[in-house]
A and B are shown apart, each in its own frame.
Chain A
Amino acid sequence: MKLIVKFNLVLSLVFLVGLGGAAYVSHEVLQRNARDEILQNARIMMQGSLAARGYTISQITPLLQNQLNYEFLPQTVAAYAATEYFNELRKQYPDYTYKEATLNPTNPRDRATDWEADIVNSFRNTQGQTEIMGERDTPAGRTLYLARPIKITDPGCLRCHSVPDAAPASMLARYGSANGFGWQLNEIVGAQVVSVPMEVPIQRADATFRVFMVLLVALVGFIFVLLNILLITLVIRPVNRLARIADRVSLGEMNVEEFPVKGRDEISTLAESFGRMRKSLVHALKMLES
């Protein structure tokens, strides 16, 4: 088997292994980064909603408190504020969702669906659990959801959620007395659930991976060709020429041209050695003839 074939076989094997390894590692890293980016988006969305809740509780509700005597204003409710804030966001980003999924809500739109109820119950049954995340398929594609428990820690909340008699009359007039009552202090009544689409970041990661691999393969190919050229030019051709000269000398052609020695590399050293050996041979033959 020719040297170049052996060389290329080994080189191909090394490159294949390297490409494979690089592909696996880069794919994993890009996918993980994409998921981290999705999760970070979800956390930012969640914090935005929490900020809307805090702003409502600290600034809006006190200003509108008196008006509750006349008309129930859902704008005074932190959960409503957070949901409406997110609904505004969804006008530009419709694939993102936020919900304060509650097992026993006052507003029916907040009632937890089956999978949301599972999350809420997980929070209720697992002490100290502060976050649940997961992935699920939706009509809009695969989404990542991030959930945090809604725990009643402010006794003020119970004014509207303990017993109907304690709730503002205007609230009862709007929502009735059948839902959203019986909550207890320190009870987990629901979960804030943010869902963010995974498609775009994952697609971006895949695209980056493809570009990276194409570039890597191109680079490997270029190196492969370059190495072959160098091998042929610097080793194989000089060795073949030296071999042809050696053959002719071995057949008695002592006048064959000298191998030109250029540089001080190993081929030059070999050529010089061959030249000395040839001279020694010629001298020895002459001595025998004389």
Chain B
Amino acid sequence: MRVTFVDGQMKLLRGTQVLLAAPGVVVLDSDILETAPKAYALIEFPDGVRLALGDETRLMLRTLASGGKPAMREFAVLQGWVKIQSPAASVADFQLQGLRWSIQGRETSVIVRDDAMLFVEHGAVAVSVSDLKGRAGTPQRLNSGRFGVLDENRALVLQERPAEVFVTAMPRPFRDPLPRLLERFKGREVEPRPAGEVAYGDVAHWLQGPQLWRSGFVARFRPRLGDKAFRQQLADNVARHPEWDRILFPEKYRPRNPPARP
């Protein structure tokens, strides 16, 4: 899959590196994508699935393959605007994972804002709202044309058409079908521009995000412990990501010597 369009700036966090995305750059599993204010970007998969990111959007790509089941593309959406257009030819279901809900579908086009509002342009999706303990609720099916709002009580309120506040705030390019641009980059190699190693501030939102999303982050960002500032900020916020405590303060977890026998 590749980035096929960028208007403005989009950072790509790969491993411990910060890269600046450009059209044609290959996107890998576990990449974190973050768009700048007023930016807009498109990601396209070989099977025709297109993903659009609005401004100030944070999204991580994961592909889950659990126990022989068909792989599912998971997009962890921390914040912002996402539109996914999945054609009939797509090879896998997708799952947009938000902080409070999970949206699954295939052969559909859906727009999501944070984890508060969604609109099904066409096709159908299944929405599971998680409870306060993170347990997924019973999936609700939303068909074409339905608009859903997740209120403060985690109740999904459905409406016949998108709310005006949603339409007004939605990135303008989301109103049109997402274009197919992948062919332009066939046979081309485009390297992203390096912009240094990740700082704590670059990944703080993710390190402090849902626990399920943080799996693998210790191994991923451990090499950054050599950076004093990173380590210090990690330590200062360890309560928000307690899995780092063992790494930062291993001495706390060493087995104690038994007391000497008299």
A: residues with CB less than 8 A from B are: 63-64, 66-67, 69-71, 169-170, 173
Inside 8 A of A70's CB, which chain B residues have their CB? 162, 167, 170, 175
- Answer yes or no: B119 CB below 8 A from chain A CBs: yes
Closest to A173 in B: B161
How far, in Å, is B178 (CB) from chain A's closest CB? 10
Closest to B159 in A: A169
How far, in Å, is A60 (CB) from chain B's closest CB? 13
Number of interface residues of B (CB under 8 A): 11
Asked if A69 and B176 make an inter-chain contact with CB atoms under 8 angstroms apart, the answer reads no
How far, in Å, is B109 (CB) from chain A's closest CB? 8
How far, in Å, is A243 (CB) from chain B's closest CB? 104
B: residues with CB less than 8 A from A are: 119, 121, 145, 160-162, 167, 170, 175-177
Of the A-B pairs whose beta carbons lie under 8 Å apart in the complex, a sample of 10, sorted by A's number, is A66-B175, A67-B175, A69-B121, A70-B162, A70-B167, A70-B175, A71-B167, A169-B145, A169-B160, A169-B161
Closest to A62 in B: B177
> In the assembly, what is the distance between CA of A244 and CA of B121, in Å?
115
Asked if A170 and B175 make an inter-chain contact with CB atoms under 8 angstroms apart, the answer reads no
For the complex of A and B, the 10 pairs showing the least CB-CB separation, nearest first, are: A169-B161, A67-B175, A70-B167, A66-B177, A70-B175, A66-B176, A69-B121, A169-B160, A70-B162, A66-B175
> In the assembly, what is the distance between CA of A63 and CA of B176, in Å?
8
Inside 8 A of B176's CB, which chain A residues have their CB? 63-64, 66-67
Asked if A69 and B177 make an inter-chain contact with CB atoms under 8 angstroms apart, the answer reads no
Inside 8 A of A71's CB, which chain B residues have their CB? 167, 175
Asked if B177 and A170 make an inter-chain contact with CB atoms under 8 angstroms apart, the answer reads no
Inside 8 A of A67's CB, which chain B residues have their CB? 175-176
How far, in Å, is B8 (CB) from chain A's closest CB? 22
Asked if B170 and A69 make an inter-chain contact with CB atoms under 8 angstroms apart, the answer reads no
How far, in Å, is B138 (CB) from chain A's closest CB? 27
Asked if B119 and A69 make an inter-chain contact with CB atoms under 8 angstroms apart, the answer reads yes
Residue in B119, B121, B161, B170 whose beta carbon sits within 8 Å of that of A170 in the complex: B161
Q: Which of B145, B161, B167 has the most CB of A within 10 A?
A: B161
How far, in Å, is B117 (CB) from chain A's closest CB? 13
How far, in Å, is A38 (CB) from chain B's closest CB? 44
> In the assembly, what is the distance between CA of A170 and CA of B176, in Å?
15
